[in-house]
Amino acid sequence: MTTARDPVIAIDGPSGAGKGSVSRALAQALGYRYVDTGAMYRAVAWMAVHNGLALDDEPALGRLAAEAELTLDQQTVTVEGHDVTAAIRTAEIDAAAARVARVPAVRDALVSRQRGFAAAGGLVMEGRDIGTAVFPGADVKIYLDASADERASRRASDTAHGMGRDGADLSDVAHALAARDQSDRTRQSSPLVMADDAVLVDTTGIGLDAVVARVISIVRERLETGP
């Protein structure tokens, strides 16, 4: 696609498919900015919990998502000047983020903030609806997936998310992941689905380095030749 703006690469897929590691490596290889949109839903959830808001209070959640001061750089997430990088990765915020992500006013506010990132250079944006709702005209769309068992065992061995956290074992991690998947896939507002023009990369049984190499090669080829 020929566009006046800098390239946008959309990386979507369910939890534990490897989006974060792959997107970061891809952004670094291309010299683009990396934006984790899941962290934005988590930050809104953290603020809602912190401020004692009901997780179904759509007007209040929508205002929060639209107006809160929120910064994301490659390593750190802040809200209203507080570093919440670790605080948004708890089991409580996993569940709260899946709930606020169902609220249309939250999605509208965050999608419009996400579109703003495209003005400033090449972008790798990771999430659930990047290729379908945020940037339907993205230059390249990748949909990363893996079997449910493999995604659960990856999450379980990830120190930020996994076993041992709050005493969780593999079956707790697998159940929590399945519940969030179900919520992401069945919500009314921008459910997780693969865009028609996305390239599916199934990472089941494939190591991270091989997945990164494959995604970088797909993206480079598409950027050179167009869709």
CA dist 181 to 34, 75, 148, Å? 23, 25, 10
**Rule CB under 6 A: which of 22-61 touch ligand DC?**
37-38, 41-42
Distance CA 99, CA 78 (A): 21
- Cβ proximity to ligand DC, 129 vs 139, nearer residue: 129
Q: Least separation, in Å, of the C-beta of 93 and ligand DC?
A: 8
When binding is defined by CB under 6 A, the residue of 35, 43, 77, 97 that contacts ligand DC is: 97
SS3 for the chain, per residue? CCCCCCCEEEEECCCCCCHHHHHHHHHHHHCCEEEEHHHHHHHHHHHHHHCCCCCCCHHHHHHHHHHCCEEECCCCEEECCEECCCHHHCHHHHHHHHHHCCCHHHHHHHHHHHHHHHHCCCEEEEECCHHHHHCCCCCEEEEEECCHHHHHHHHHHCCCCCCCHHHCCHHHHHHHHHHHHHHHHHCCCCCCCCCCCCEEEECCCCCHHHHHHHHHHHHHHHHHHCC
- Cβ proximity to ligand DC, 97 vs 174, nearer residue: 97
Q: How many residues bind ligand DC (CB under 6 A)?
A: 13
Q: Least separation, in Å, of the C-beta of 127 and ligand DC?
A: 3
Q: Does 98 sit near ligand DC (CB under 6 A)? A: yes
Q: Does 15 sit near ligand DC (CB under 6 A)? A: yes
- Cβ proximity to ligand DC, 30 vs 125, nearer residue: 125
Q: Does 64 sit near ligand DC (CB under 6 A)? A: no
Which stretch, 57-65, 73-81, 127-135, 201-209, contacts ligand DC (CB under 6 A)? 127-135
When binding is defined by CB under 6 A, the residue of 44, 129, 143, 156 that contacts ligand DC is: 129
- Cβ proximity to ligand DC, 44 vs 217, nearer residue: 44
Q: Does 180 sit near ligand DC (CB under 6 A)? A: yes
Which stretch, 52-60, 63-71, 95-103, 208-216, contacts ligand DC (CB under 6 A)? 95-103
Report yes or no: 22 and 146 within 8 Å, Cβ to Cβ. Answer: no
When binding is defined by CB under 6 A, the residue of 184, 212, 219, 222 that contacts ligand DC is: 184
Binding site for ligand DC (CB under 6 A): 15, 37-38, 41-42, 97-98, 101, 127-129, 180, 184
